[in-house]
Structures are given as C-alpha cells and as structure tokens.
Structure 1
Amino acid sequence: MVSDPLRTEIVDLSENAAGDETINAIVDSRREIADGVIELVFRAADGGDLPRWEPGAHVDIVLDDGAIRQYSLCGDPSDRKTLRVAVLREQEGRGGSRRIHSELRAGSSVELKGPRNHFPLHESPRYLFIAGGIGVTPLIPMMRAVEAAGAEWRFIYGGRSESTMGYVDELRDLGDRVTIWPQETNGLIDLDGLLGTAEEGTLVYSCGPEPLLAAVEAHCESWPAGALNIERFTAIEVDTSEDTGFEVELAQTGVTVQVSKDQTILEVVTEAGVYVPTSCTEGTCGSCETPILEGTAEHRDVVLSPEEQESQETMMICVSRAACPRLVLDL
C-alpha cells in the first residue's frame, strides 16, 4: 500500500531532481478512483529507492511505441518506494490515456522519466487551492505540505459530478477547509466570491480544464504579481499565420541555423545534430527549456509563468519562437 499521500513538508526547492532520469518501474497496484479515472502506483523494478520529488512534480509515462504522457504525482514525497498518479481516460485525446487504461495492470513493466517540477510550491502564510476534475492531482501533496507547515489554506474542488471526482473521501478527511463542488448540484464554482477581492499574502494554486483556468486568470488580474500559480495540461492555440523565419546561434557548438516559418527551433537544432531533451513537443512539459543568451523570445508554452516569460531567461524551443531577427541560445 502507498503511504499517506499527503503527509509531507514544504521542501527546499534547491533540491529538485534532475528530471531526466529513466526509471524502470512496475505497476504495484491499480484501482478505479472515479468514473473514468484510475490510480496507478509504481515501484522500481529492482526494488530500490525512487528519485526524490516535491509537490507539483510530474513524471513521464513512456508507452511501448515511444509516445510519452505526463502525469502529476499525487502521493507522498517522503515515500521513496512508490510513485502515485491518477489517469483520466480522455475519449477525445490523442489515445495515450486510453492505452494506459487498457494496457497497464498490476505487474506491468513500464518506463518512467523524471520527476520534473514546473509547478513548484512556494512558501506563503496563506493559500487558496482551486481544482477542476483531474487537476486535483498536483494539489493533493501541496495541501498536506502547507498543513504540515502550519499555513492557512482553503481548497475548492469542482467536477461534473461527485462520481467523476477522484479522492473525494480522502480529501474530506482534511476537514472543513475542503469544499467539494459538483457542478450537477452546485453549478459553476463561485470564482467571484473566491477571487473577487485580492488578498495580500495569499498564493492561489489552480489546475484543471482550460475554461476553469482562463476564468481563474481573469479573476486574478487585480491580484499582486506572482500570486497566481497555474498548471495546464494542454497546449494553447496560437495563430501561426504571420510566423516568419529567423536565425539562431548555438553558443556552445558555434553553429548558426536558419529557422523557417514552418519549422520549430527544436526541429532545426535536432537536424543540426544537437541533442535537446524533449517529451511533449507542445510546450506543456518543460523538457526542452533552454537558456536565452541574446535576443527576445515569443513565448508559446504553458510552463513558464508570465513573470518568467517576461524575464527572457529561458524558452521552450519546441513551440516558442523569436520575436527578433536573431536569437543566441545556450546550446
């Protein structure tokens, strides 16, 4: 059995795992936790310790054909023997979740990569957590962490119906700080009541479907910079009709490449023989994050915060482009 998934502490973010580790794993257990949602608990195939991770981290599940899907860790960071994820079967997705549902059973061998964390939990005296559906998963270890740290917090958990919402009983055990909000009985989450007045010293963490996240962002426009922290599972839609070509210098290798309007930086750099870790190729996982030495990027990822994008320190080269004629990257 996996240990109590929420009994943890806020961890020093300087101890992040490297994130590119390959883990040969076994499915230790599988169970259905809601309609269309299964929980998978992994252990190392050799029985050894698994990599350290922190609340907000995710792992890649590598399918037999090399396809990769990312899932947030929702177990206990202090448990070095197991990793826990929950997988929603997405009928309209690309097929990865359907394959995981149909192919992975207790005892199945599977390759994992990570963990990586692009949704870190920052220290604060107060927190407001807002989840929709499967977006609950990265917030579970966060809530236990802030509880252990003695911070104030509230959690509002929305979904179509209670039967589709995983971990409801587990979360209710946390007491009256948790509000379960099924849409079929309560309607949409009352974001006006939650976010209508900016609260100094409160961090907002939200994860879930795009309509919820867009609404949370709109309601937090008047909040202090950095107060809102969001994790998206899907790429944003971008109008590419006015894309143009540009030049990229690779500082480490001394190579300069031309990126046409129909190419990504990642594609051109890979063709030039430069290895860059990659996974989603959609700007959602953060694997290909690359330092910018000169120039300005047009950011199209959903990993970096607005403040991080504005700083122009790094970019996701699988989707982001140059907002200038020439970029110099640390590659």
Structure 2
Amino acid sequence: MQKTVLDRVEPVAEGVVSLVLRGADGPLAPWEPGAHVDLSLPNWLTRQYSLCGDPADRGSYRVAVRHDRLSRGGSEYVHLFLRAGRTLDVSLPRNNFPLLSAPEYLFVAGGIGITPLLPMLAAAGDSARLVYVGRSEATMPFAAELKAEYGDRVRLHAGGRPDFAALAAELGPDALVYCCGPASMLDAAEAAFPAHRLHLERFRPVVKEFGPDVPFEAHCVRSGRTVPVAAEESLLDALNHAGFRIPSGCREGVCGSCEIGVVGGEPEHRDDIGAPDGRMYCCVSRASSRLDVDL
C-alpha cells in the first residue's frame, strides 16, 4: 500500500467528483493508461477506481467517482464525507486493460467509463478518436476539457447512442477499439465491432452459468499446507480463514486484486478479466478437484 493525502476534491460533472491524491512519502508508483488502484476508504470499504490523470506525474494520482444511487457505501462516503487533507491508503496500480500498439484507435466511453480512456487518448496520438456517450453533457465528466483539448477528434453523443455499425465501417484494417461504460453499451459494441479488435472493461461481471459448486482442496505448495474449500465458500475466503492474507477488492472477478499462482490442477476460471496461464482470481474462480497454488 501507498500512503497518500487527498489534495483536493473537485466536481467534474453532475454527480461526479475528481479526487487528486498526493503521495505522502514521495513519488507514487508508476502506471500506464488503463490501470486502476484500490482506494481504502475511512469507512473500512475498499473500492477500485481507474487512474485518469497523467502517467508522467509521479507526485499524484487522479480518479473520478460517480455518486451511485444504489451505493453500497463507497461512492456515498466519497461524495458526502470525504474531504481534502485526509490520509488514504492506495494500492499499487494494476492494469487489466492495457493500451496495445496500433496505427489507429477508436475509444468509446459511456459516462464514468471515460476515466480509463482519458490517459489512453492522450497517449495514442493524432490517429485516435473518442466517441463519448452520456445522458446529457452536464452528466459527462471532463466533456468540456476533452473538447477544448482534442476538438473534432472527440464526438459527444448526449441523450442517444451512435450507430456502432457505422463506426465499425469507418475503421482502418488495423485499428483497435477500446470501450468502457454500462453493460448495455458494451453488449452493443460486441455486436458491432470484430472481436479481435475490441477491448472492453466492465464495471460489473457478465452473468454466466456454471455447474454446481463442489468441495475441493487447495494445496499450498510453499507452506506445505492443504486448505479444504467447502462448496458454499469461495477459495478466497477459505485461504483467508486459513491465515493466508490474500488481498481482495471487488469480489466479483473484475478487479484482479486477489490473483494467485497455480502450479498444478485445473482451475475453473469465472472471472471477467481473462486470467493468464498459471494464475487465477480466487474470489470467484474455483475447481472441481485439487489445486496446487503458489502460497
């Protein structure tokens, strides 16, 4: 964890504030566009937010938080109680949504989904375009800032969604599409853009169906211990109860904070990130037989 001081809280749209977090002990850890951090709030909640500032600025991080009317206590606390001067713990950045090299980019943002795309647009160069969708310009964070900086390379669609099929037809043969926003918009993007070009980041996991959960064992290779995992508990909870302090954030398979190594057995991946070979996200993923894990 990194110690930060909340330097300022600024409204950037209706129901959205920007938080600028200054490193309390010197430079903060480096990051690349698409990265996010875990922010530990004073009400004992941890929430994940995309970094939307300048990666070259090692002195501070910027995130933006929308006040969710169905808040489970995170965004509500930020908007109603969090004030400048507060010391906050912030994780090292993680990046499940990296910007790959391409000659041309189309970025598609919906509402607060603009946050991971802001530094991408700055890094991508003159061949990048942004299509930004929201209920109204007043509810779209950083809209005025984007238009002022990028002009015609930014298209705002307030109150309606653009024709994604038409946007797909305009793309060059090697263009990549990066999209972040509400589930309905991402589903429409998946239907319109070729899968090999499209990169998505979701706020919530896609609903999937799996077979019934069954008990299994996790053998912790480095410690020599074997941890039983009951059918009704997650691997994350079983490991934590056994004394292995595995960090966790979303507990939905979208943030990546609970990643562990797998050295034997076949995990059943249930995350929305796409775990690399030899890794798994133990908050949602499990197994039907013994796993050997790197703990």
TM-score range, shorter chain: over 0.9
Q: Over residues 235-275 of structure 1, what are the superposed CA-to-partner deviations in whole Å (9 max), with x where a residue is unaligned? A: 33344672222232222222223222211111111222223
Cα distance in 1 for partners of 2:120, 2:242 equals: 41
Q: Secondary structure at the match of 1:77?
A: coil
Q: TM-score when scaled to structure 2?
A: 0.92
Tell me which stretches of 4 or more aligned residues in structure 1 moved more than 4 Å: 196-199, 238-241
Q: Structure 1 vs Structure 2: percent identity of aligned residues? A: 44
Residue 205 of structure 2: aligned partner: 235
Equivalent position amino acid for 1:276 in 2 = I
Cα distance in 2 for partners of 1:177, 1:36 equals: 26
Residue 264 of structure 2: aligned partner: 294
> Is 1:157 equivalent to 2:132 in the alignment?
yes
Question: Does the Cα contact within 8 Å between 1:297 and 1:312 map onto a contact in 2?
Answer: no
Equivalent position amino acid for 1:60 in 2 = D
Gaps of 5+ in 1: 1-21
> Is 1:180 equivalent to 2:152 in the alignment?
no
Question: Does the Cα contact within 8 Å between 1:295 and 1:326 map onto a contact in 2?
Answer: yes
Question: Does the Cα contact within 8 Å between 1:198 and 1:223 map onto a contact in 2?
Answer: no
Q: How does 1:247-266 map to 2 (within 5 A)?
A: 247-266=217-236
Residue 185 of structure 2: aligned partner: 212
Q: How does 1:93-172 map to 2 (within 5 A)?
A: 93-147=71-125, 152-172=127-147
Equivalent position amino acid for 2:142 in 1 = Y
Q: TM-score when scaled to structure 1?
A: 0.83
Equivalent position amino acid for 1:320 in 2 = S
Cα distance in 2 for partners of 1:207, 1:282 equals: 17
Residue 316 of structure 1: aligned partner: 281
Residue 37 of structure 1: aligned partner: 16
Question: Does the Cα contact within 8 Å between 1:296 and 1:312 map onto a contact in 2?
Answer: no
Cα distance in 1 for partners of 2:62, 2:117 equals: 13
Equivalent position amino acid for 2:291 in 1 = L
Equivalent position amino acid for 1:201 in 2 = D
Cα distance in 2 for partners of 1:262, 1:223 equals: 35
Equivalent position amino acid for 2:15 in 1 = G
Cα distance in 2 for partners of 1:199, 1:269 equals: 48
The match for 1:275 among 245, 251, 268 is 245
Question: Does the Cα contact within 8 Å between 2:11 and 2:17 map onto a contact in 1?
Answer: yes
> Is 1:26 equivalent to 2:5 in the alignment?
yes
Q: Over residues 257-294 of structure 1, what are the superposed CA-to-partner deviations in whole Å (9 max), with x where a residue is unaligned? A: 32222111111112222232222222121111122222
